[in-house]
Amino acid sequence: MSDFNTAPLPERMLMAPHADALGMQLVSIEKGRGVMTTPWREELVGDPETGVIASGVVTALIDHTCGLAINSAMGEAMPIATLDLRIDYMRPAAPRTGVTAEAHAYRLTSTIGFVRAEAWDVDRGDLVATAQAAFMLNTRGQPLKGGA
Amino acid sequence: MNDNAIRNLNAFLQKVPYVRFLGMRVELAGDEMTAVLPFSPHLIGNPMLPALHGGAIGAFLELTALAQLSLAQPTQRVPKTVDITIEYLRSGRAQDTYARAILRKVGRRVANVQVEAWQDSRSQPIAGLTGHFLLRTAP
């Protein structure tokens, strides 16, 4: 496995131990946009009566996908840090169903990245959650090696 | 609040698969509930720093809010999260994390809860959460 700092972005996004533990998968990536999914599994259930995936899993997926979108929007890979993340939960996901999130980094300044994200279970048009986030860019003041 | 209430709450929490996945538990300190997220390598987001994943911290904060609400209303069903705003103040290091929740307003249908998480010192929080939760009467 290549080094976290030098790995290509898609690979690096999956090398984060928490993303790996949640079973996150990369669906697609383009400049400023990313889609990731977390398949359902028993361990991630938040309501044992219904088998619905925990909202915390959606939170982590959205946070991670926002990071992917920011990283893909930047010409070079830089360390970033979430400043704030607001999530509206419109409805619980369907029982025993995974969640997919798409994030769009719609504006980058020299220091801050602004991202919007949406999450759904089955139908892209029937959302489970929407989110808005701001990230600090380049938190260590220098670019990482390797491209985005 | 007493030891018994905390014991019941922990027993309830450990029935939730995702709570076990994170490794979270609650403790009683004085008359306040403190939630504990023991460090575990699978909570890491950035292995180079290393730092806890923001999503894991957010989930821990949200679960702390829900746990505090359950403690206040033990006969009710677990509330549903309507919205959360998470503020990240410092990077979460590879060590145990603690959180406490304040019920700022528990209305008839919605509760407003504020949570703060820290590691070494409570005066240096690593993250905060404000959320609205839909209260549900027992089935």
Residue A1 lies in a domain: no
- Comparing CA positions, the residue from A107, A119, A97 lying closest to residue A45 is A97
How much of chain A is helix, strand and coil, in % rounded to 5? 25, 40, 35
Q: What is the pLDDT of residues A58-105, one digit of tens each?
A: 999 999 999 999 999 987 767 888 999 999 999 999 999 999 999 999
Could you give the percent of chain B with pLDDT greater than 90? Answer: 84
Q: Which residue has the higher pLDDT, A139 or A18?
A: A18
Residue A53 placed within a domain: yes
Domain ranges of chain B: 3-136
- A52, part of any domain: yes
pLDDT at A147: 39
Average pLDDT score over chain B = 94
Total domain count, chain A: 1
In a domain, A144, yes or no: no
Domain span at residue A81 reads 9-137
Residue A4 lies in a domain: no
Regarding the domain with residue range B3-136, which homologous superfamily does it belong to in the CATH classification? Hotdog Thioesterase (3.10.129.10)
Q: Do A84 and B59 touch (CB under 8 A)?
A: no
Q: For the domain that residue A31 is a member of, what is the CATH number? A: 3.10.129.10
Amino acid identity, position A12: R
Examine residue A108 and state whether it is found in any structural domain, yes or no. yes
Q: How far is B20 from chain A (nearest CA, A)?
A: 8
CA distances, B101 to each of A81, B66, B87 (Å)? 24, 9, 15
- Tell me which chain A residues have a C-beta less than 8 angstroms from the C-beta of B131: none
Residue A136's CB is within 10 A of a number of other CB atoms, namely 15
CA distance B3 to chain A (A): 25
Q: Which residue of B has its CA nearest to A65?
A: B55
Q: Residues A22, A38: contact at Cβ < 8 Å?
A: yes
Task: Let me know if residue A148 belongs to a domain.
Answer: no
**H-assigned helices in chain A:** 9-15, 17-21, 55-73
The ipTM assigned to this model is: 0.94
For the full predicted model, state whether its pTM sits above 0.90: yes
Note the pLDDT tens digit of each residue in B107-122.
Answer: 999 999 999 999 999 9
Q: Residue A139's pLDDT band (boundaries 50, 70, 90)?
A: low
Chain A residues in contact with B86 by the CB 8 A cut-off are 59, 82, 84-87
Q: Are B101 and B66 in contact (CB under 8 A)?
A: no
User: What percent of chain B stands above pLDDT 70?
Assistant: 98
Residue for token pair 């549900």: B136
Of A89-93, A134-138, B24-28, B107-111, the range with the lowest mean pLDDT is: A134-138
